[in-house]
């Protein structure tokens, strides 16, 4: 594994260039160009605010914000996993012709979505101020929560990326699976509405405490539950190690299977 990390480091320039390529190429040729990165969350925000203030009125105070603070990190997670599943197969021609650490490809997906998520904060923070949500000192917990989420995103993205080479329909299964996962994670609703009997199942979902933590610091203005996040970090570190080992083991035949 040390060897893997060293190789990724040696190819950091490639990683940087691929991320820059993804960020720029996505909107290349469009009129607004890079600004689409901001317009996407902005439009999302407008749609949700209108729908939940005028059409479907929800009891939760400031529901648009309640949703928005959870939806952005969810999108970072879900988009990474879905794009990650395709990352190796899509770049098959490159894999067959050039050696580079294959980890770079799913890692590019993670970093690109991480940057997009960070950029969407430029929409989120003003929106929170406009909707008069109190911003507190708890916001300084953000980097910690982001790192914890990124551990989960890296582990899952690496695992689905390598698995998809051997089981191609995983890419399509993931679409359905992520939708189900979305509804089983308290993004649309508060965790309190989950019936006590089902709480145990929800407790197994590693995304739940992450989403809760984001909601704590952005929406409730309070500190996240550090003990829960602490256990989660230990678990996720183990998962990251497993994902790297599995990836390293199976990447050897990738060029033949693609």
The residue (of 29 and 196) whose beta carbon lies closer to another protein is: 29
Residue 37: HSE in the Cβ half-sphere, 13 Å Cα cutoff: 22
Stretch that binds another protein, among 51-59, 137-145, 195-203, 250-258 (CB under 8 A): 250-258
75-104 residues in contact with another protein (CB under 8 A) are: 93-100
Q: How far is the CB of 40 from another protein (least distance, A)?
A: 20
The residue (of 54 and 99) whose beta carbon lies closer to another protein is: 99
Q: How far is the CB of 84 from another protein (least distance, A)?
A: 17
CB-based contacts of 129: which residues, under 8 Å, 6+ apart? 135
**Binder among 1, 10, 32, 245 for another protein (CB under 8 A):** 10
13-42 residues in contact with another protein (CB under 8 A) are: 13-14, 16-18, 21, 25, 28-29
For 12, 97, 103, the CA distances from 100, given in Å and listed in that order, are: 11, 10, 8
Q: How far is the CB of 169 from another protein (least distance, A)?
A: 5
The residue (of 57 and 96) whose beta carbon lies closer to another protein is: 96
Stretch that binds another protein, among 7-15, 180-188, 189-197, 223-231 (CB under 8 A): 7-15
160-189 residues in contact with another protein (CB under 8 A) are: 166-170, 173
Q: Which of 73, 81, 61, 230 is nearest to 149 (CA)?
A: 73
Q: Which residues bind another protein (CB under 8 A)?
A: 10-14, 16-18, 21, 25, 28-29, 93-100, 166-170, 173, 252-253, 255-257
């Amino acid at each position: 594994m040390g060897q893997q990390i060293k190789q990724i480091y040696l190819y950091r320039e490639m990683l940087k260039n691929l991320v820059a390529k993804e960020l720029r190429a996505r909107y290349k040729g469009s009129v607004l160009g890079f600004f689409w990165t901001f317009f996407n969350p902005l439009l999302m925000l407008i749609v949700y605010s209108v729908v939940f203030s005028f059409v479907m009125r929800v009891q939760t105070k400031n529901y648009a914000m309640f949703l928005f603070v959870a939806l952005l990190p969810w999108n970072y997670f879900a988009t990474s996993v879905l794009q990650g599943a395709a990352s190796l197969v899509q770049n098959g021609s490159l894999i067959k012709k050039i050696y580079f650490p294959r980890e770079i490809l799913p890692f590019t997906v993670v970093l690109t979505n991480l940057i997009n998520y960070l950029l969407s904060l430029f929409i989120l923070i003003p929106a929170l101020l406009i909707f008069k949500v109190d911003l507190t000192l708890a916001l300084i917990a953000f980097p910690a929560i982001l790192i914890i989420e990124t551990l989960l995103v890296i582990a899952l993205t690496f695992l689905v990326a390598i698995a998809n080479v051997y089981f191609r329909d995983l890419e399509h299964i993931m679409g359905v699976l992520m939708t189900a996962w979305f509804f089983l994670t308290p993004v649309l609703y508060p965790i309190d509405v989950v019936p006590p009997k089902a709480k145990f199942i929800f407790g197994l979902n590693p995304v739940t405490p992450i989403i809760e933590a984001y909601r704590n610091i952005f929406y409730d203005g309070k500190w996240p539950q550090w003990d829960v996040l602490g256990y989660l970090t230990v678990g996720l570190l183990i998962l990251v190690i497993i994902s790297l080992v599995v990836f390293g083991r199976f990447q050897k035949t990738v060029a033949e299977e693609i």
